[in-house]
Amino acid sequence: MNRIVLAASLIAALAAFPASAQQPKANIGYIGAADFTPLFVAKDKGFFDKHGLDATLTRIQIAPNVAPAIISGDLQIGMGTGPNLLHAAEGGLPLVAIAGASRMKKSNPIAGLLGRSGLSIKTPADLRGKKIGSPGLNTMLTEMLEKWLHDNKITRDQVTLVEVVFPQQRDMLKSGNIDAVITIEPFRSRMLSDGTAFTIADYVGEVNPDLLAVLWLSRNDWAAANPKAVQAFRAAYAEAIEWCAKNADESKKILAKYIGFASPVLPDYGVEVKLSDLEFFERVQRELGKLRAPVDVSKLVWK
């Protein structure tokens, strides 16, 4: 019996030794969305390995659970949004943005505000008194709509915002439970093509023609202790973005393999996070009263 234990521990020690000299490891958390195509490509095509990062991908069911999972150490890297990061900073969570993931550009709208067919909503003012479905209150897409309403002189209590998750939006519009909805691809194309809804506005593009949609977060102390891992992640990601641009069809196939559905329209991808990207969100959140005090965004981007 003792001999077996001895042998087992010897094998374990031998196995552990080369591991410690190996590449840094990162467990990366994402949600099922087309924003993460380069992530799947980097894993599938071996770009992480090539740049020296032992990456494991973990799908998280809902976005609000990602930041707590990073803080607890289950994830080393996880997806988030600008508003998400600012709320976290205000709440005292030690998170930094280490890379960008996707951008929403006016030239390639993937999100929008749709209205129920049959309603006459031509100008923002027609939205007064209407019930608008949101994929999540206090999330990036909804805060940008609040900014758009604010810019069009509609106050927050003149519309009712209710949460309706993407797969239920079409039914809720059809049944008349909601009058308009904040949506994203591929749900947007589906509702437009089957006549359920019409486009009221590409409000994201109107608020900011080049918006940082999704970014990658990690703990401050992890990034400081693992600069090589951060560099490897960025390099692999940049290479994957280039690869996606050259191999559109195959990257759509890889996306479908990981998230279970295909998306006819893909967002723009970009690994860079500019200070001005976060400054924009900070300004908007203060304007809307979502932040109680100013946040120093220069500390939130990993150099």
Indicate the residue among 51 and 290 with the shorter CB distance to other proteins.
290
For residue 121, what are the contacts with CB-CB under 8 A and spacing of at least 6? 115, 127, 130, 179, 180, 200
- Binding segment for other proteins (CB under 8 A), chosen from 73-81, 129-137, 228-236, 260-268, is 129-137
Is 132 within 8 Å of 183 (Cβ atoms)?
Answer: no
Can you tell me the distance from the alpha carbon of 74 to that of 57, in angstroms, rounded to the nearest whole number? 12
Minimum distance from CB of 90 to other proteins (Å)?
7
Site for other proteins in 261-290 (CB under 8 A): 290
Indicate the residue among 222 and 237 with the shorter CB distance to other proteins.
222
Phi, psi of 73 (to 5 degrees): 95, 0
- Binding segment for other proteins (CB under 8 A), chosen from 164-172, 193-201, 220-228, 255-263, is 164-172
Indicate the residue among 152 and 177 with the shorter CB distance to other proteins.
177
Minimum distance from CB of 175 to other proteins (Å)?
6
> Binding of other proteins at residue 31 (CB under 8 A)?
no
> Binding of other proteins at residue 177 (CB under 8 A)?
yes
- Binding segment for other proteins (CB under 8 A), chosen from 16-24, 86-94, 145-153, 223-231, is 86-94
Give the 3-state DSSP-derived string for 125-157, with helices as H, strands as E and coil as C: HHHCCCEEEECCCCCHHHHHHHHHHHHCCCCHH
> Binding of other proteins at residue 91 (CB under 8 A)?
yes
Can you tell me the distance from the alpha carbon of 161 to that of 164, in angstroms, rounded to the nearest whole number? 9
Can you tell me the distance from the alpha carbon of 150 to that of 72, in angstroms, rounded to the nearest whole number? 36
Q: Which one of residues 31, 60, 69, 93 is an interface residue with other proteins (CB under 8 A)?
A: 93
Site for other proteins in 202-261 (CB under 8 A): none
Minimum distance from CB of 166 to other proteins (Å)?
14
With CB under 8 A as the rule, give the number of residues binding other proteins: 27
> Binding of other proteins at residue 196 (CB under 8 A)?
no
- CA distance to 140, 147, 215, 220, per residue, from 95 (Å): 17, 25, 12, 5
Can you tell me the distance from the alpha carbon of 213 to that of 140, in angstroms, rounded to the nearest whole number? 8
Indicate the residue among 57 and 291 with the shorter CB distance to other proteins.
291
What residues form DSSP beta bridges with 132? 161, 180
Can you tell me the distance from the alpha carbon of 279 to that of 62, in angstroms, rounded to the nearest whole number? 26
Minimum distance from CB of 91 to other proteins (Å)?
3
Indicate the residue among 11 and 162 with the shorter CB distance to other proteins.
162
Amino acid identity at 170: R
Indicate the residue among 171 and 194 with the shorter CB distance to other proteins.
171
**Distance, first Cα to last Cα, the chain:** 53
Indicate the residue among 46 and 176 with the shorter CB distance to other proteins.
176
What residues form DSSP beta bridges with 133? 162, 181
Q: What is the DSSP string of 50-68?
A: HHT-EEEEEE-SSGGGHHH
Indicate the residue among 46 and 294 with the shorter CB distance to other proteins.
294
- Residues of this chain that bind other proteins (CB under 8 A): 64, 67-68, 71, 87-88, 90-93, 131, 134, 136-139, 161-163, 168, 171-172, 175-178, 290
